[in-house]
A and B are shown apart, each in its own frame.
Chain A
Amino acid sequence: MSEPLLSAQGLTVRFGGLVAVNNVSFDVQRGEVFTLIGPNGAGKTTVFNLISRIYQPSAGGIRFEGEDLIAQPPHAVAALGIARTFQNIELFEFASVLQNLLIGTHTHRRTNLWQDLLFTGTTRRAEIHARQKAEQVIDFLSLQRHRDSMVAGLPYGVRKVVELARALCAEPKLLLLDEPSSGLNVEETDDMAWWIQDIQRDLGITVLMVEHDMSLVSKVSDRVLAMNQGEVLALGSPDEVQAHPGVIEAYLGSTDDLSSLRRTTA
């Protein structure tokens, strides 16, 4: 196997006495869709926040393209080629969709403050270039209708797509999607599945996502990592993981619990 795009080794995070993530290791290969699943509080989003350097790991390390990610400050992560979306949407509310996408291109800025203040030829050319990129993404995700709308006025489903679009504008190598289907209806979830597949196939972007909707997970994922209480339960193809007894137990409780339930109701 070639060198993985992202490699997490022995990740551990403690918040005081609570161990949110305990000794989690996994590799994300180039070009795959890698999904983290697990019940609430399993530590999936914590893993995301470790990769985007919002949290500092108590132990363990993350390497991205062989580089030590933990040594990077949070704002440098995007420049390395990692873009993300958020579970509850963190868009720039009082800006238009286009403005939001242009902020997505920020890591590729080539002008400095003085050029911006005077709006020199360099800034003008860079602006046009950034706008071309944003338009491509708008076309890719069919956002034309909402191009100039204020985000504050958009419905939830559209915001989800705008956030995805903003992440794509950064032209990432690795895209982190935190629950892309949460709050979406069935139709919108289907669209999301198509887009994730398109992102993987057409744009060649590796996707690492956290997701609860198992139909979406099995449709798009190449590999799935199941977590519970901060620990790795199972790793493998979607079918393998879903059939894993530990995973079933984490989601549904063990058969012992069921029998104990029966006794009390009887």
Chain B
Amino acid sequence: MRYIFKTDYEQDIRIVKHGGQAFWYSLLGVFLLLSPWLLPEYLLAQLIFVLIYSVIGLGLMLLSGFTGQFSIGHAAFMGVGAYTQAVLTNAGWPFPLAFACAGGLSGIVGIVIGVPALRVKGIYLGIATLAFGFIVEEGMARWESVTGGNAGMHVKSPAMFGWTLDSNAEFYFLCLAITVGATLALLNLLRSPTGRAFVAIRDSEISAQSMGIHLARYKTVSFALSAALAGIGGALYAHKIKFLSPEQFSILQSIDLLLMVVIGGLGSVHGVFLGAIFLITMPQLIAMGKDYLPESVGQSPGLQAVVYGVVLVAFVMFEPHGLYGRWLKIRTYLQIFPFYRAGMFKRQKAFQKSDRLK
């Protein structure tokens, strides 16, 4: 068991809390920096997808996990980013500029959606974002002069100032840098007043308001940042997949994104990455397992959807805190062995809430 003796406010503020964390994250960093040389091409491509989905997941986690606003249309923001990036890159814009526009435009769309969404809560917000997702998907399919419609469009490799990032390794480092940047930005946000205001809105709007938090403003900011991160992820996705078509940003993609943050663990940054790893490795595992199943089951087209559904239901029922919550339990078990009690992570009885007033 580790006890941290605190003598300084800085200790509470720091991102890296103790030597153990510093050691393990350095190790992870070294591995990530060396992976183009350590991993075969195929695994590196998978790792790129994990990074891309992590960026999008960070956005959705900010909105759903930390601000408590659910979005079942997040693929739409991803799509806006992806198409913006594709159109601008194909028009010959340098990567940083196109990338900034992709993130910025998604953020603006996020504000446009966020403002009317302020009026609705919970399941109604889910339905509103779902509808928005359909509208954007339809828009991408119909606006053929820009998006190429259902026929899809090719995306060129990212290029800046005469340097084209066309190898897997180069693109990997680009994704890695952006993921690290996005993660640090989110961690910074969470340890500062803005992030605390988000968490306050998630846990109790009424008392957040009476603590002086401007609900409408912070919800809009959260929507905008979340959409911008999804757009950034979408832009990287466009370069990775090299061919865009509207059905990549359908409701199924939105559900995948939601699945990722729920299974990873709502309200934890670690959960985003665990969820992204889950989302990327699961189809491979299913593909590998197919051969061992009876043919009528293994070859049926809906297998993946069924497995995803079962896993999601299982997590909601048995481990609502997601993969990260499970890891915390295992870690605590090992740290305080043999004193772990079942129920240590059980929440106390939720006390009656005041009438929600609105």
Q: Measuring CB to CB, which residues of chain A are less than 8 angstroms from any residue of chain B?
A: 49, 52, 54, 73-79, 83-84, 86-95, 98-99, 102-107, 109, 111, 113, 115-119, 123-124, 126-128, 130-132, 152-156, 159, 166, 170
- Could you tell me the distance between the alpha carbons of A152 and B199 in the complex, rounded to whole angstroms? 14
B164 at the interface (CB under 8 A from A): no
- Could you tell me the distance between the alpha carbons of A113 and B255 in the complex, rounded to whole angstroms? 29
- On chain A, the residues within 8 Å of B354 by CB distance are 86-90
Among residues of A, the one whose C-beta sits closest to the C-beta of B15 is A119
- Could you tell me the distance between the alpha carbons of A96 and B328 in the complex, rounded to whole angstroms? 16
- On chain A, the residues within 8 Å of B208 by CB distance are 92, 103
- On chain B, the residues within 8 Å of A99 by CB distance are 196, 199
A262 to chain B, nearest CB (A): 38
- On chain A, the residues within 8 Å of B170 by CB distance are none
- Could you tell me the distance between the alpha carbons of A153 and B352 in the complex, rounded to whole angstroms? 15
- Could you tell me the distance between the alpha carbons of A89 and B211 in the complex, rounded to whole angstroms? 14
Contact A152 B212 (CB under 8 A): no
Pick from A93, A111, A153, A156: contact of B203, CB under 8 Å: A93
Contact B351 A54 (CB under 8 A): no
- The residues in B between 207 and 238 inclusive whose CB is less than 8 angstroms from any CB of A are 207-215, 221
Over the window 339-358 of chain B, the binary record of Cβ atoms lying under 8 Å from chain A Cβ atoms (1 yes, 0 no) is 00000000110111110010
17 other contacts beyond A103-B196, A127-B191, with CB at 8 A cut-off? A86-B354, A90-B207, A92-B202, A95-B199, A98-B12, A103-B211, A104-B211, A105-B193, A106-B197, A106-B211, A109-B193, A116-B188, A116-B189, A152-B348, A152-B350, A155-B348, A170-B211
Inter-chain residue pair count (beta carbon < 8 A): 132
Pick from A78, A90, A106: contact of B353, CB under 8 Å: A90
- Could you tell me the distance between the alpha carbons of A200 and B45 in the complex, rounded to whole angstroms? 64
- Could you tell me the distance between the alpha carbons of A117 and B10 in the complex, rounded to whole angstroms? 18
- Could you tell me the distance between the alpha carbons of A92 and B201 in the complex, rounded to whole angstroms? 9
- On chain B, the residues within 8 Å of A130 by CB distance are 193
B110 at the interface (CB under 8 A from A): no
- On chain B, the residues within 8 Å of A93 by CB distance are 203-204, 350
Among residues of B, the one whose C-beta sits closest to the C-beta of A154 is B348
Contact A106 B192 (CB under 8 A): no
Contact A127 B211 (CB under 8 A): no
- On chain B, the residues within 8 Å of A131 by CB distance are 9, 12-13
Pick from B12, B203, B215, B357: contact of A49, CB under 8 Å: B357
B179 to chain A, nearest CB (A): 16
A183 to chain B, nearest CB (A): 8
Contact A102 B185 (CB under 8 A): no
Among residues of B, the one whose C-beta sits closest to the C-beta of A75 is B214
Contact A86 B194 (CB under 8 A): no
Contact B13 A127 (CB under 8 A): yes
B195 at the interface (CB under 8 A from A): yes
- Could you tell me the distance between the alpha carbons of A90 and B214 in the complex, rounded to whole angstroms? 17
Known: A90-B207, A106-B213. A119 touches B192 (CB 8 A): yes
- On chain B, the residues within 8 Å of A88 by CB distance are 351-354
- Could you tell me the distance between the alpha carbons of A79 and B210 in the complex, rounded to whole angstroms? 9
Contact B192 A127 (CB under 8 A): yes
Pick from A87, A113, A152, A154: contact of B194, CB under 8 Å: A113
Pick from A86, A115, A127: contact of B207, CB under 8 Å: A86
- Could you tell me the distance between the alpha carbons of A148 and B10 in the complex, rounded to whole angstroms? 15
- Could you tell me the distance between the alpha carbons of A109 and B350 in the complex, rounded to whole angstroms? 31
Pick from A115, A119, A126, A156: contact of B351, CB under 8 Å: A156
- Could you tell me the distance between the alpha carbons of A94 and B325 in the complex, rounded to whole angstroms? 13
- On chain B, the residues within 8 Å of A107 by CB distance are 211-212
B66 to chain A, nearest CB (A): 10
Known: A91-B207, A103-B200. A75 touches B347 (CB 8 A): no
